[in-house]
Structure 1
Amino acid sequence: MSKNKLLPKLLQNLSEILNDEEYYDITIEVGNDPYIKIFRAHMVILHYRSPYLRRILLTNKKKNDGTLTHIKLPNISPEIFQIISRYIYGGKLSLNEYDNSDIIQILIAANELCLQELIPYLQSFLIKNKANWMKQNFNLIHQTSFENDSFSELQKYCTDLMTKEPIKIFNSLNFSSIPEKLLITIIQNDNLQMSEIQVWEYVLKWDMHNIQNFLLMS
């Protein structure tokens, strides 16, 4: 029997361990009040799959009184952690099943947990399969990508789009909501491939929108 035929059974068994209710030896509290969920897990799997969790486990070893180790991950929602945990245990991650915003959150969670192999995979998936959505939600993509040096592929995507296709940013759904600093970065780009008249038309559009919002809030 070939190794390839044996592998699916191994992955199935590892995935089944995720739902084990008898041999778990750690609990993980995920999310923030009131959206908190407790997950049961296994130290040995977490130790080898996530360098971040490995560091936590090394400083929170099981107590001699039999009390289970309990760690908290407040920055990750229960829904996203459930997706991530399926990947940690069974290597399963069917991105076509999830909303685009969820994929962004999976990317952020993967970075926090130091799942280094996932970070380039998720970035490539977004760039190859979700380009139109990212152009329409450029502010979110730009903000996310430049919050962490690990997202270099998304950073390059954003920089290239600002330089080569700025019109698509200006025509995006949330253009009027992009931060002033980002708008200045775009229009000051020496390689901006738009006429000055076009640029200032969009700047005025952005300005009018934000003035109206300011008046409504005052």
Structure 2
Amino acid sequence: MEQNFNLIYQTSFENNSFSELQKYCTDLMAKEPVKIFNLLNFSSIPEKLLITIIQNDNLQMSEIQIWKYVLKWGLAQHPELPSNVTNYSKDDFNTLKSTLQQFIPFINFDNLTSKEFLDEVFPYREILPEELHVNLLKTFISLSDPNIKPSDKSKPCITKKVNLGTIDSKIITSQHAELISKWIDRLEITDELTSPYEFKLLFRGSRDGFTRHKFHEICDNKSRTVTIIKVKDTNEILGGYNPIKWESDNVWNITKDSFIFSFNNDRIEDHILSRVMDECKALINSSIMGPSFGDGDLTILRLNYYTRKEYCRSIKSSYEKSIRKTTNNFDVEECEVFQIIDQ
């Protein structure tokens, strides 16, 4: 099995009945990642598989190893890049940055020593978001011992810039955006509500068209997105966060960081947050539906084969809680998709 791991892993996600095989593959990757990497043609590992591996909390690999493997994979996708990073042009850095942008949020740089950061990460600083790069530099320079990690200190040193500007939305306010930002960072609700991100509008149904085709045309291959919908004839606002890319390849996406939510009665305090439980069914990429979370937990603009019309629904399955009081299908008054950008 190990000799054909790549094929077996991909096959396991082509049929929902292979859930035990999916779990076996995921556990094997977490316990013996180096062995799996050495067995596979590393440069041909699908992006989704590598993301699944590095975001696993039980991964038996140091953070510097994770960084090196991610970098190795990215460089293998572009053999035309110079072998020495000191010879990179701005375009070369942008090429590598575009390839690795989805991996960066899953690397815990706090678990590097300052020596590891300066030797292995700093030469590639141009591929990091500017704010992250600056804060990392400040953090590691401030350490007195090159073998100490920021995570060894009692308080985290890396902070994010606060952006309290307005949000281009017909559905939510900046206060909603601040709360969603806290959920993304897994912060406590009692902490001060200050949004560290820009919510960049990608898609708006009333502007671009209320169809799954338009959603995929605009949002496919975009990572770190928040989908917001206003339910027709109610006071409900529903939504979900996807840390990885939307696509139309009809496969499940695995992540432990997605969540769905609802707001009711125009009150920000009246909300439900529901994080993913079944990571193997966190998100579904499908050409017959728009943004969809879990196995029906929040499905938007799904095609009904009999009526040939699109519908929306929310039925608890793969996430912690129901975000609606009813399981009835519903129509959408407005739908917006935002990309989350570090400031």
Which one has a larger percent helix, Structure 1 or Structure 2?
Answer: 1
TM-score scaled by length of structure 1? 0.34
- Structure with greater Cα Rg: 1
Q: TM-score, normalised by structure 2?
A: 0.22
Greater per-residue strand proportion: 2
